[in-house]
Each structure stands twice: as C-alpha cells, then as structure tokens.
C-alpha cells in the first residue's frame, strides 16, 4: 500500500525530518509500514 504521513504547520521541523527518514529507510524500506508518501 501507499503509507502516508500528513504534516501540518504545527509540526516541529526537526522531528518531522527524523520521523520521515526513520520510517522510509529503517529496515531498508522492507516493512509493510514503510513511509511512501509525504
């Protein structure tokens, strides 16, 4: 599936970057929950 992350203006930029990179690339992107759409 296409797992998405929605970020609004109240989000902390530094935390968004950490979460996006972690979700997209942890486990080499092989988890079914890996981020695909931001």
Q: What is the pLDDT of residue 29?
A: 61
Residue 25's nearest CA partner among 16, 15, 36 is 36
Average pLDDT, the chain: 85
Residue 31 half-sphere exposure toward CB, CA atoms < 13 A? 10
pTM: 0.67
Q: Which residues of the chain have pLDDT under 70?
A: 1, 28-29
């Amino acid at each position: 599936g296409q797992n998405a992350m929605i970020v609004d203006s109240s989000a902390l930029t530094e935390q968004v970057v950490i979460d996006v990179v972690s979700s997209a690339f942890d486990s080499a992107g092989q988890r079914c929950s890996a981020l695909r759409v931001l």
